[in-house]
Structures are given as C-alpha cells and as structure tokens.
A and B are shown apart, each in its own frame.
Chain A
Amino acid sequence: MSLTLLYVQTLNGLQLGVLLFLIAAGLTLVFGVMDFVNLAHGVQYMIGAYLAAMFTALTGNFFFGLALALPSALLFGLLLEFFIFRHLYARDHLDQVLATFGIILTLNQAVKVIWGAAPLSVPIPEIFSGSVVLMPGLLYPVWRLVIIASGLAIALLLGILVTKTRIGMLVRAGATNAPMVSALGVDIGRLFMIVFGFGAMLAGFAGAMVAPILSVEPGMGDNLLILTFVVIVIGGIGSIRGAFIAALMVGLVDTLGRSFGPSILRAFLDPAAAAQTGRALAPMLIYILMAAVLFFRPAGLFPAKK
C-alpha cells in the first residue's frame, strides 16, 4: 500500500521535474548566454496555458489548439524580445529585474482583463483520458504519463541540439563567453533572438501541457518561476544538463518531501510534533537543498562559465 503510494508520488515528482525542466531550459540559456535576468519567464508559461485553452476552445481539439498555441507563444516571446528585452541586455541585473517585474504585473493583469479572473479549464484529450494500470493496484492518469514522456523526449532532443549541432555549439560557446563569440564574427543579436524565442516556446509548451490538469489562472507562473530559478541555480547557470538534473531533483524532493516528510519524522518525534514540523519543513526542503548546494558549490553543480 505504502509502496504504491511511493511509486505514484515518484511519478508525480518526475512530472513536476519535467515541467520545471521545460521552463528552466529556456531560462538558463537566456541567463547564461545573454546574462539577462528574466523574471517574466514564468509569464510565458502562463501565456502558453492561456493560448492553449483559447485555441482548444476555438477548434474543439486539444492538438489543433496546441499546434496553434506554440507558434503564437513563440511570436509573443519574439515580440517581447524585440520591443523591450533587447534594450535591456546591456543594462545591469537590477534594471532587468525592475523591468521584467513590471512586465509580470502587466501581463498577469492583462490576462485577467482578456480572459477573466476565473480559472479556465481545458478538457484532457479524448484518447489520453482515463487511467492506466501500471502495476497491480497502481492506477495512474495517462495524461500525466504523456507529460512525462513528452518532457523527456524534448530533453533528449534538446541535448542532441545543444551538443551536436552548429547552433548548439554557438549557444554553448555563448554561455561560456559571449563577447568572444561575438568577436569571432557570429551575429550575437540573432543568436540571442533565437535562444529567447525558443525558450519562450518551451515555457509555453509546458503551460499548454499542464493546462488540462491544472487550472489556468492569472499569476499561475509566479510561484513556478521561483522554483525554476531554484532549478537553474542548483544546476549551474547556462547548463542544460545541470538544469535537467536539478529539475528532476527539485521535482522529486519537493513532491516526496511533502507526502512522506511527516511520516518519516514520526519515527523520531511524537505524531503531533511530527505533523507540525513536517508541515513546516516540507515546503522548505528545496530551499534548504539550494542553500546547501550553494554552500558547497557557490556556482551550482555544473557551471557553464569557467
């Protein structure tokens, strides 16, 4: 019984990890290559969810909706880049924080104006609805498995893209030393735009994929954004591999800590105290993990900068 719960929670943790990776991948590259702190990245995730909800309602089919939402999220990201972000690359981090904070406020409010304050819901696509028996007594929703699988597939593709292709090489070089890449004759502005647009689309994809299982609401990206920053800092800024490992770590630690923390503590404390400390400790675990990682490795696990 408890073992089944462990499997289910591990899968849930994996799903959160994959989700975090999809968002973190773009953020860590934008940060690593352009040295740009983009607080508004969580908003891209929210926009992706809203676009998917809107287009699904419009076309009546989630996959048509997704196919329309992805290019729209990409376009939206590129517009933001063109009108605002590219004027901020040369500024210091604090200016970037202030401006992107302003964008968060604006867009959270704008979706409320456009789509209303009430959460939208998106139906799970027909063929992936329902649950599947993974093991005797272990029933798991198919859609969550689809999210995990598609996330892992994208992680694999991204890994190949970054390590095997020319554009990936430029991105890696840019994360290590952007001015040098520029000096060698690469159009760094175009590279920035590609990385930014791609990151925005991945975050939008993450938002679209979870739209059927979470409620689509204003501000849904805010708390996930902080988790994503935790991920990229643990993984080391600019490193896709680091982001992947850290995302899975954070997803698993957070999910398993919340569900098993109190019962593990019960072995040491009396039940009331265990429940109390467990409730306090579980949400803190990932931050404790991050503080510990930074204490021993002040630049994260796999720093891209030398």
Chain B
Amino acid sequence: MIMRREILPLSIFLAFAVLPLLGNFGSDAFILSIVTRVMIFAIAAVSLDLILGYGALVSFGHAAFLGIGAYAVGILSAHGIREAAIQIPAALIVSALFALLTGAISLRTKGIYFIMITLAFGQMAYFFAVSLAAYGGDDGMTLPGRSLFFGYDIAQSERAFYFLVFACLIAVYAACRMIVTSRFGRVIRGARENPQRMEAIGFSLFAYQLTIYVIAGTLCGLAGFLLANQTQFVSPAYMTWQRSGELIVMVLLGGLGSLNGAILGAAAFLLLEEGLSHFTEYWKLYFGPFLVLVVLFARGGLMGGFKRLTGTGDGR
C-alpha cells in the first residue's frame, strides 16, 4: 500500500524515468539535456535543503561546492586524468574538507551572521577560482570530453549521461531521506525548532550541525562533478553569489524541508527560465514578479500548494 505522501516523490521519479523512452528528441537531444540539467540542480538543491530546510542553516555560499566539484573535473582533466573513479572521490573529498573548514568557523555564528559568513567563504572560493590563471582564470576552461568510467567513454551519449545523473539523483535523494528520518536527522530538526532545549537535553549541537553541513557540501560537490561533465566547461561563474542565491530560491520556491520540494523547485526554476527565455529576451521581467507573488500569496512554495491541494499533512 503506497502511502499518500509517497505519491509525489514516486511520480517525480517515474516522470524522470520514462521521459527518455518517450521519443528520440532529435539529434541534439535538446529536451533531454534540459532535464539532465534540472536533475543536476535538483541534487544541489536537495543537498541545500538538508541544511536550509531541516537544519535552518541558511548557507549563502552553497554554489562554492558546485564549483569545487566542477574544478575537480577540470583540473584533473587538464592533467590528463579523465577517469571518474579518481575524479569523483577527488571532488567529494575536497568538497568535504572545504565544508569542514568553513563550517567549523561559520557555525560559531547565528542567524544573519551565518548567512554572511557563508557568503564570505563562497566569495573567497570564487575569487580563488578567478585567480587560477593556469586553469582559464576568469574565462574558465573547456574540457576535452566527458569523464571516462573505468576507461570506457560511456557517458558521451546524452541518453547514457541522462541515466547516470538520474541514478545519482535517486541515490542522493535516498541517502538524504534516510538521514532526515534517522535519529541524527531528528536531532538536526530538533535544533531547528529549539536549539536551547536540544542543548539542555544534552546534545552537543555543534558536532551534529557540522556533520550535516559537511554532508550537504559533499553531495553538492557531486552535483558539481555532473555539471562540469554535462556542459564540458568549467568556470568561476558556477560559484558566483547569484548562483548561491538561485539555489536558495529553488529550495524556497519548491518548499522548505521536504526534499521533494527542492526537486520541484529546481525543475520549476530552470524550466521557467528556459520556457520564458524562448518567448522573450526579457524573461526576468516576468520571472522576478512571479517570485514576489509566490512569497506574498503562496506560502510554503510549491509544496505548500501541493499539501493544500491533496490535504496531506506535514510532509516532513
């Protein structure tokens, strides 16, 4: 028996699964590559939701991890190492270390100061990437091709790459779902609701929050690896503060703290961007007011609307 609250994630994943089977989409596989992009950003948004929605830790520098994952691919490829079995661990380890270091400092602060200090670290990562003259500096660098998997060039076809990203999304979603329902996840949520009380019961919140921060950063590093592979291009533009802001917007647009919302938000954001820019060069002129209206009249984002429609309770 499928419970009501499982309908939404199942239908999202079903839609992703059947899309490539529906047709050939021509040679450039335009739609396929857009949906691949949606899934990559969904991974990043889900990882952000882990700290933003469940931990109430508003990170304004999350795009740094996207960039770190991408640069792991770019820098290793530039030295002739195109093997994903080396690139992926490198991307994840560097992301985790960056998260550990910056998280340990950032978590000393609270509220708006946390937002600003994560922004500061994001900007440092951005300027560091700009200064990497050997790897393209400001302009970025083009990759020789997609990563090899155990020596095989299997991700070259759009369709194969699509399923690779899809598998990553499912794995990340499942891992996050397990984390938030575990005892560890309940401590994180407890800290969101009432940190004083959690401390009083005897939890050292710093260690818990640092752990979730590192997990979120690492998962976003994976999204960075995939993004670099999709575009076959790496540049500091992946880490601008606007990109971090867009990630927050995706999560908020979908609805905080449900994981499903992050996927919906990423899809809504990118598809609206793509769709509107087809009709008009000035798509932001419509997208901007849309965001304002969502805040003013649709509390809880798309998930809030979905819950009101189906009458499901708190989907957390």
Contact = CB atoms under 8 A, between A and B. Distances in A.
A287 B105 contact: no
A280 B125 CA distance: 10
B282 A226 contact: no
Q: Which of A39, A99, A230 has most chain B Cβ within 10 Å? A: A99
A106 B282 CA distance: 9
A31 B128 CA distance: 30
B110 interface: yes
B109 A229 contact: no
Contacts of A288: 120, 124
Interface string A191-233: 0000000000000000000000000000000100010011001
A108 B284 contact: yes
Contact of B294 (A93, A98, A229): A98
Contact of A99 (B109, B110, B245, B295): B295
A287 B249 contact: no
Interface stretch (B37-45, B68-76, B285-293): B285-293
A97 B292 CA distance: 10
A290 interface: yes
Contact of A294 (B113, B127, B132, B290): B113
A230 B120 contact: yes
B113 A106 contact: no
B217 to A, nearest CB: 17
Contacts of B109: 294, 298
A173 interface: no
A98 B246 CA distance: 9
A102 interface: yes
B120 A295 contact: no
A84 B197 CA distance: 36
Interface in B118-161: 119-121, 123-124, 127-128, 130-133
Interface residues of A, number: 45
Nearest to B122: A287
A109 B291 contact: no
B132 to A, nearest CB: 8
Interface string A79-92: 00000100110010
A159 to B, nearest CB: 24
Contacts of B248: 94, 97-98, 101
Contacts of B292: 84, 99, 102-103, 106
A99 B133 contact: no
Contacts of A276: 131, 133
Contact of B252 (A88, A98, A230, A299): A98
A291 interface: yes
A102 B289 contact: yes
B296 A87 contact: yes
B296 A279 contact: no
Q: Which of A101, A104, A107 has most chain B Cβ within 10 Å? A: A101
A74 interface: no
Nearest to A226: B241
A106 B249 contact: no
A102 B116 contact: no
A109 B282 contact: yes
A94 B256 contact: yes
B130 A229 contact: no
Contacts of B242: 222
A103 B294 CA distance: 12
Interface string B274-316: 0000000010110111111011100000000000000000000
Given A98-B291, A290-B116, A294-B117, 19 more contacts: A31-B112, A87-B296, A88-B296, A93-B112, A98-B248, A101-B248, A101-B249, A102-B287, A103-B292, A105-B287, A105-B291, A226-B119, A233-B116, A284-B127, A287-B120, A295-B105, A295-B108, A298-B109, A299-B113
